A and B are shown apart, each in its own frame.
Chain A
Amino acid sequence: MSRWAIRCDELTKRFGDRTAVDRVSLAIPRGTIFGFLGPNGSGKSTTIRMLCGVLTPTSGSGEVLGYDLLTEAEEIKQHIGYMSQKFSLYEELTAEENLSFYARIYGLSLERARRRKEELIALAGLAGREKQRAGSLSGGWKQRLALACALLHEPELLILDEPTAGVDPVSRRIFWDLIREFARRGVTVLVSTHYMDEAETCDQIGFIFFGKLLVTGTPGELKARTGLPSLDDVFIQLVNAQGHFSGQGGGQG
């Protein structure tokens, strides 16, 4: 088994003549939390979608959990959990019905489905909300329900696209405690975020700007390399250094 959960080489995605992701190469070791940062429209979601098999790369290659991105997309899907940026569960179904649906879609046996649902409802603090329609849950609850659905089949890799955007600080804390709990159990996590406090606690971070991956490293390394006190400052400096070229990037969307 390869030590990499995700490895991709020069992954590129073009929409018409706009390059959303420009030759991104990544190597994420198993069992780590990788934070994916970058301003709006920089290509985080697009990269993530290519890694999940939602979008086909224009060029480049990659491997997720040892399966080829281009030819073994369906195998990859058996082993990853994904939360998209936009809430994408069925709003008219209750929390429990959503969980049951995905349990069946992932082919869990009745017994295992029951056990996993119980576990995750307790873990995500959803107890008492099982019969509530997903659409009527508030932000933090919705996100934890989506996370629970993504974890039903015990994936080895969890890919989360801005899971805490627009969520209150307390819910955010609960959510990250969950993520770290699963990382401790050996799940690899790729998570995009705009929050620097979240980025600080990642094992590795990568910063993407106008489709290009500018730097990767541990938060400590990045700060040491530039001699700046916070990640905020590091990225502002990176963006400023790129400023002269940003006109070529294709524009922000």
Chain B
Amino acid sequence: MRRRIRFKWGRYRAVVFKELLQIRRDPASLGIAAVMPVLMLLLFGYAVNTDVDHLPAAVWDQDKSFQSRELVRRLTNSGYFDQRYQVEGYAALQRLMDAGEIKVAVVIPPDYSKRLDTRRPADVQILVDGADPNAARTAVANAQLIVNHLAFERQQAWFAREGLNPVAQPLQAQVRVLYNPDMKSLFFNIPALIGLIMQNVISILTAFAIVRERERGTMEQLIVTPVRPGELILGKLTPYVGIGMFSFLLVLVTGIAWFGVPVRGSLLLLVVLSLLFLVTSLAIGILVSTVARTQLQAMQISFGFILPSVVLSGFIFPRETMPLFLQGLSGAIPLTYFLHILRGIFLKGVGAAELWKDILSLAGFALLFCAVAIMRFRKKLE
């Protein structure tokens, strides 16, 4: 096909104007576009909280002494365990564990305080439900830590009572957590959620906008006009860049104001790079629309890439621990780079100097996808 007919701003503007009119006449879908991401953020923000604390626990205290109560108090005060039940006997513990009522059981032997008073080692049994490995790991580690600490204090007290100098522990790790000192998973997840939600909402919205023209037959009429694919695609995209940006800012404000996630880096850089990601998501939507015939198909195909992007982008599982093959796949997903950017700016406060690789990759994807979309977008009905 000869390309004698060039891109004309007039035609591009006509498409933009028409699209805006259509969007305005359909306030319901506009509302969904604007509010849906915020609702999703609220929903997922609470659901995707991977912090393990307040594990329900039962205690079988056979000693019932001041000492045993002190141990239980230490465990619950840590915030990791909530004592829900006080039971007698293994059978009762087993029942609670089977029913999923508790994740942790603490068994204190009858001679607990007696052994401590006579300076003989005492054993505390801690039973953990391992079905959820993440919760189990946290429970085991923290229970051990708390009990060890108590034991160490006891030892110090014994030495002191004998007039000996308290011994210093020979080895101590001085751990300092950078960037997210409280290690709140919310702070890690919310920025990523913003990226994920924006990608999904924007790409599905765009795919719908184009597939709808096919479904209703309005595309056939457009094909018979001199409109160029570039004019049509860019014209249809432009309003959605605006909607997407508005929606992004809404989500951003929700993340910051409602969930209290701090932005350590430059807010301006964040917004600019989000715009870049927005364009990439729009282009994904167009690509979907060049394959899908109906809105239903568009939905299905969209889910076909949303799922891998959830699993592979580093949203849930860290990229570094994936097998090499999956790491490669993950590198082919734009969201991967945007998540890195989001978390970098939000949590670490890094700037363009540290993120240039991700920025370049994202820009590359945006260009590539737009080019492929415009090339693939045939002015034909087949």
Contacts and interface: CB of A to CB of B under 8 A. Distances in A.
A54 B219 CA distance: 10
B25 A84 contact: no
A29 B382 CA distance: 30
Interface stretch (A99-107, A204-212, A224-232): A99-107
Most buried by A among B4, B222, B223, B380: B223
Contacts of A107: 8, 10-11, 226
Q: How big is the B interface, by class? A: 20 to 34
A106 B222 CA distance: 10
Interface string B275-300: 00000000000000000000000000
Contacts of A82: 221, 224
Contacts of B25: 92-93
B49 interface: no
B10 A104 contact: yes
A78 interface: yes
A84 B220 contact: yes
Interface stretch (B13-21, B115-123, B326-334): B13-21
B31 to A, nearest CB: 16
B382 A75 contact: no
A5 to B, nearest CB: 16
Contacts of B216: 88, 91
Contact of A74 (B10, B226, B382): B226
Contacts of B222: 105
A97 B11 CA distance: 15
A80 interface: yes
A195 interface: no
Contacts of A172: none
A54 B8 contact: no
B2 interface: yes
Contacts of A104: 10-11, 13-14, 17
A75 B17 CA distance: 25
A208 B11 CA distance: 37
Nearest to B25: A92
A72 B217 contact: no
Contacts of B220: 49, 54, 84, 86, 88
B381 interface: yes
Contact of B22 (A86, A92, A105): A92
A25 B11 CA distance: 35
Contacts of A75: 2, 4-5
B221 A55 contact: no
A52 interface: yes
A21 interface: no
Given A52-B224, A80-B224, A88 B380 contact: no
A86 B221 CA distance: 10
A86 B219 CA distance: 11
Contacts of B21: 92-93, 97
A41 interface: no
Contact of B221 (A53, A73, A89, A91): A89
B227 interface: yes
A102 B218 CA distance: 12
Contacts of B18: 90, 93, 97, 101
19 contacts: A49-B220, A52-B224, A54-B380, A55-B382, A73-B1, A77-B225, A84-B217, A86-B220, A88-B219, A93-B22, A104-B10, A104-B13, A105-B14, A105-B222, A105-B225, A105-B226, A106-B226, A107-B11, A149-B221
> Which 6 pairs, one residue from A and one from B, show the smallest C-beta to C-beta distance?
A104-B14, A88-B217, A88-B221, A82-B224, A92-B25, A86-B217
Given A54-B224, A55-B381, 13 more contacts: A52-B223, A53-B380, A56-B380, A73-B379, A78-B5, A89-B218, A90-B218, A92-B21, A93-B18, A101-B18, A104-B10, A104-B13, A106-B225
